[in-house]
């Protein structure tokens, strides 16, 4: 609201101006944002077009009034409008008076694209309700594949996905791209914040910085690779994602000066949301050993050792490679008609973090599993890995080849023989039971090894003397005593000198002279300098003994004479008087006048 000052030439002109102003206020149509008291309440949206997923600010301005109450939120279908803790206050002064202005901020977010109308907001100011005007807002869905549409903005972020329809468990690449206007404008990028109950997100730790021209404007870009896969079938809106970016501070006085003077500021950017559809896996053709793996994998198998006895462990190393979801990947399954020939243990999975698979680039995982043959078998049987291939939309199986091994009978000692082998009470070895397939042998007697026995010394030892502590040597204490004596001697001499100086000064200084003693000094002064010093000292002593109240109650002529005499003495003593004049005898007439003035002051002492 602009201020128009009114100039008054005379009283008649001033009254006419006042009546004209009142007539305008009474006859003007009532505006919901302004009253006769000069209070103005306005609402403005800082942007008329808002990309879906980002935030806009609604500002309520209150001019020349004190805000007492306003709503915490504004209900609009499709919009979320909530009050921000940010409040600004401004005050201006001009020839027409002062002007106060309050800015109350609201945060506006949209859940869908479309045209919206923000209704009027009622604000209580100085005990009265004011209503703002409705505001229009257009929310549009931004195309992340064409960042040139946002080239007019100083910084923004895009969330891009190659496919909007994915299978449940299918991993697809996800790219978070950041754009900041200017060359070398990004200093660092923090981890993204993006969560959804129906999806699992994985981010690469690194990001790539680059430069790009958008509509002839140079932008610095930072792209962080990521991946996403869905858990539950359905259609969802993912995002917006939030990410902190340390970007060049344009408000810095050094601008884009390279080197030490550059200043960066942290800002939180919000991306566009994505609409993703998760399709359920088909039930037709699902293999019996399918455990949820989605991708296109190959599997290889290695076994060691290849020669074992019955019951000995064999380590199986599976290597699975190819693009796909390694989080849902399970170990291959043993294919064997008679599973009683093998004892198996759970496999241990390890995902290669260096080979990050986003569903397009290949990844790698290894499984380690222990198996034990329970019979004399000829080979490690084949293992099968079942998965759903999103490229073909069908289930596929990958099998390993059997690995030939040699399994010998169990020839372990009696103490470790399997259950069912007779062990005599006296510990002697006996023949195995007919048809058991085991041969029990007597354990060999171990031979003693003396490599760990230390020889006993037969010659006298050579002992090393213990080091002597430095504090046990006389020279150490002599070196400490001499500096100590010197130090304490200096301290004592200084203390004695200080006492003598204090005693001499106390005898010379003594208590401050009284006003009566000062009068005697004025009478006995022999030089002009001593006389002027005695006069100033007498006046100071009288001021100290009389007090400020007595000095203020002096008659006007006496108070004026006192001030004049004091100024005169200071000017002659500290002014341009020569040393010869100050060494002369004081003027008897001046001495008599001064003594008469001091005697008059003496009568006013309490």
Q: For residue 206, what is the domain's CATH number?
A: 2.60.120
Taking residues 479-503, report their average pLDDT.
Answer: 83
What is the pLDDT, as a whole number, of residue 127? 86
**pLDDT, averaged across the chain:** 78
Which whole number is the average pLDDT over 513-529?
83
Instruction: Return the pLDDT at 10.
Output: 40
Q: Which of 385, 408, 431 is a domain's end point?
A: 408
Tokens of 93: 């002064």
Whole-number pLDDT of residue 27: 39
- What pLDDT shows up at residue 144? 62
- In a domain, residue 487? The reply is no
Which of 306-315, 412-421, 497-506 is least confident?
A: 412-421
Lowest mean pLDDT among 23-37, 88-102, 121-135, 197-211: 23-37
- Please give the Cα distance from 103 to 90 (Å, whole number): 8
Give the DSSP letter of residue 328.
S
Cα 170 from Cα 164, distance rounded (Å): 12
Q: Which of 252, 279, 306 is the last residue of a domain?
A: 279
Mean pLDDT of the region 159-176: 87
In this prediction, residues 518-538 reach a mean pLDDT of: 86
* DSSP-derived secondary structure letter, 353: T
Could you tell me the CATH number of the domain that includes residue 95?
2.60.40
Q: What's the pLDDT score for residue 478?
A: 80
Confidence of residue 21 (pLDDT cuts 50, 70, 90): very low
Which range is least confidently modeled, 13-17, 119-123, 281-285, 407-411?
Answer: 13-17
Q: Which long-range contacts (CB under 8 A, 24 or more apart) does 486-493 make?
A: none
* pLDDT on residue 3: 33
In this predicted structure, what is the pLDDT of residue 498? 79
- With 60 as the cut, is the pLDDT of residue 532 above it? yes
pLDDT score of 365:
92
**Mean pLDDT in residue range 210-225:** 84
Give the pLDDT confidence score for residue 18 in this predicted structure: 39
The one-character DSSP state at 414 is: G
Residues 152 and 136 in one domain: no
Residue 208 lies in a domain: yes
| Domain match, 161 and 270 both | yes
CB contact at 8 A, 200 and 228? yes
* Structure confidence at residue 142 as a pLDDT band (50, 70, 90): low
Pair (131, 182) in one structural domain: no
Total structural domains within the chain = 4
Pair 135, 179 in one domain: no
What is the model's pLDDT at position 323?
Answer: 92
Shared domain for 157 and 211, answered yes or no, is yes
Residue 583 to residue 594: CA distance in whole angstroms: 19
User: Are 313 and 371 spatial neighbours (Cβ–Cβ below 8 Å)?
Assistant: yes
State both tokens at 220: 């610095």
**d(Cα 498, Cα 327) in Å, to the nearest integer?**
86
Does residue 18 form part of some domain? no
* Strand segments (E) across 111-216: 114-118, 122-125, 128-131, 135-140, 155-161, 165-167, 172-181, 186-189, 199-203, 208-214
Same domain, 225 and 248: yes
C-beta of residue 399 within 8 angstroms of C-beta of residue 384: yes
Residue 509 lies in a domain: no
Per-residue confidence band for 506, with pLDDT thresholds at 50, 70 and 90: very low
Q: Tell whether the model's pLDDT for residue 31 goes beyond 80.
A: no
The more confidently predicted of residues 570 and 144 is: 570
Q: Which residue has the higher pLDDT, 316 or 48?
A: 316
Cα dihedral 548/554/556/557 (nearest 10):
-120
Closest CA to 474 of 486, 482, 485: 482
Whether residue 355 has pLDDT greater than 70? yes
Q: Looking at 408, 434, 456, which one is the last position of a domain?
A: 408
Residue 220 reports pLDDT greater than 80: yes
Please indicate, yes or no, whether residues 275 and 311 belong to a single structural domain of this protein. Answer: no
pLDDT per residue as tens digits for the range 251-279: 665 555 555 566 788 888 888 888 889 99
Is 113 in the same domain as 182?
no
pLDDT score for 297: 92
In the predicted model, is pLDDT for residue 24 greater than 90?
no
Question: Does residue 76 lie within any of the structural domains?
Answer: yes
- Is the domain of 96 the same as that of 155? no
Residue 448 has pLDDT above 80, yes or no: no
pLDDT band at 389 (very low <50, low <70, confident <90, very high): very high
Are 164 and 275 in the same domain?
yes
Q: Which residue has the higher pLDDT, 235 or 443?
A: 235
164 and 113 in a single domain? The answer is no
Confidence (pLDDT) at 53? 73
pLDDT of residue 502: 64
For residue 355, what is the DSSP state?
S
CA separation for the pair 15, 12 (Å, rounded): 5
CB 309 within 8 A of CB 413: no
Q: What is the pLDDT of residue 315?
A: 92
Rounded average pLDDT over 402-430: 61
pLDDT > 50? residue 12: no
Most confident of 27-31, 214-218, 596-600: 596-600
462 is a domain residue: no
Q: Report if residue 426 sits inside a domain.
A: no
127 and 200 together in one domain: no
Which domain does 82 fall in, by range?
31-140
- pLDDT at residue 15 is higher than 70: no
The pLDDT of residue 150: 65
Q: Is residue 325 part of a domain?
A: yes
pLDDT at 93: 66
Task: For residue 113, give the DSSP letter.
Answer: -
Q: Is 307 helix (H, G, I), strand (E, B) or coil?
A: strand
pLDDT band, residue 568 (cuts 50/70/90): confident
> What is the rounded average pLDDT of the residues 472-486?
82
């Amino acid at each position: 609201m602009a201020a128009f000052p009114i100039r008054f030439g005379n009283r008649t002109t001033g009254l006419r101006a006042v009546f004209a102003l009142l007539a305008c206020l009474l006859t003007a149509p009532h505006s919901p944002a302004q009253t006769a008291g000069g209070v103005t309440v306005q609402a403005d949206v800082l942007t008329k077009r808002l990309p879906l997923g980002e935030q806009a600010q609604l500002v309520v301005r209150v001019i020349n009034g004190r805000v007492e109450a306003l709503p915490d939120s504004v209900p609009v279908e499709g919009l979320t409008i909530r009050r921000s803790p940010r409040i600004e206050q401004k005050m201006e002064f001009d020839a027409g008076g002062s002007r106060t202005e309050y800015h109350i901020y609201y945060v506006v977010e949209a859940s869908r694209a479309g045209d919206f109308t923000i209704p009027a907001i009622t604000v209580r100011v100085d005990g009265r309700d004011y209503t703002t005007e409705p505001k229009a807002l257009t929310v549009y869905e931004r195309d992340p594949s064409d960042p040139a549409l946002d080239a007019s903005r100083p910084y923004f972020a895009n969330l891009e996905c190659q496919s909007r329809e994915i299978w449940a468990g299918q991993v697809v690449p996800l790219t978070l791209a950041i754009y900041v206007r200017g060359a070398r404008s990004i200093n660092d990028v923090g981890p993204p914040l993006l969560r959804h109950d129906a999806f699992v997100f994985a981010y690469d730790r690194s990001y790539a910085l680059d430069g790009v021209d958008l509509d002839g404007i140079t932008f610095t870009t930072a792209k962080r690779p990521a991946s996403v896969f869905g858990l539950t079938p359905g259609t969802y809106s993912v995002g917006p994602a939030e990410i902190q970016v340390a970007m060049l501070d344009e408000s810095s006085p050094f601008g884009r000066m390279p080197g030490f003077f550059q200043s960066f500021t942290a800002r939180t950017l919000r991306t566009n949301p994505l609409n993703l559809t998760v399709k359920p896996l088909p039930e037709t053709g699902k293999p019996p050993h399918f455990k949820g793996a989605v991708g296109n994998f190959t599997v290889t198998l290695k076994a060691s050792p290849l020669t074992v006895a019955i019951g000995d462990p064999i380590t199986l190393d599976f290597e699975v490679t190819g693009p796909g979801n390694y989080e849902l990947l399970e170990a291959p399954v043993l294919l064997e008609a008679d599973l009683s020939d093998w004892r198996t243990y759970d496999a241990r999975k390890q995902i290669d973090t260096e080979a990050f698979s986003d569903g397009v680039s290949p990844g790698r995982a290894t499984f380690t599993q222990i198996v034990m043959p329970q019979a004399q078998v000829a080979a490690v049987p084949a293992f099968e890995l079942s998965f759903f291939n999103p490229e073909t939309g069908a289930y596929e199986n990958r099998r390993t080849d059997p690995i030939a091994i040699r399994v010998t009978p169990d020839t372990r000692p009696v103490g470790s023989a399997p259950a069912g082998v007779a062990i005599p009470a006296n510990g002697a070895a006996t023949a195995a039971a007919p048809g058991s397939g085991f041969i029990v042998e007597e354990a060999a007697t171990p031979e003693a090894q003396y490599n760990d026995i230390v020889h006993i010394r037969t010659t006298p030892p050579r002992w090393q003397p213990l080091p002597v502590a430095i504090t046990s040597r006389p020279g150490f204490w002599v070196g400490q005593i001499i500096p100590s004596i010197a130090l304490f001697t200096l301290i004592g001499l200084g203390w004695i000198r200080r006492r003598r100086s204090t005693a001499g000064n106390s005898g010379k200084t003594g208590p401050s002279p009284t006003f009566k003693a000062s009068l005697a000094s004025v009478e006995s002064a022999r030089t002009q300098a001593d006389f002027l010093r005695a006069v100033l000292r007498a006046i100071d002593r009288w001021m100290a003994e009389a007090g400020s109240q007595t000095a203020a109650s002096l008659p006007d002529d006496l108070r004026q004479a006192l001030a004049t005499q004091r100024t005169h003495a200071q000017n002659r003593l500290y002014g341009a008087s020569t040393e010869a004049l100050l060494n002369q005898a004081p003027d008897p007439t001046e001495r008599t006048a001064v003594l008469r003035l001091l005697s008059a002051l003496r009568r006013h002492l309490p």
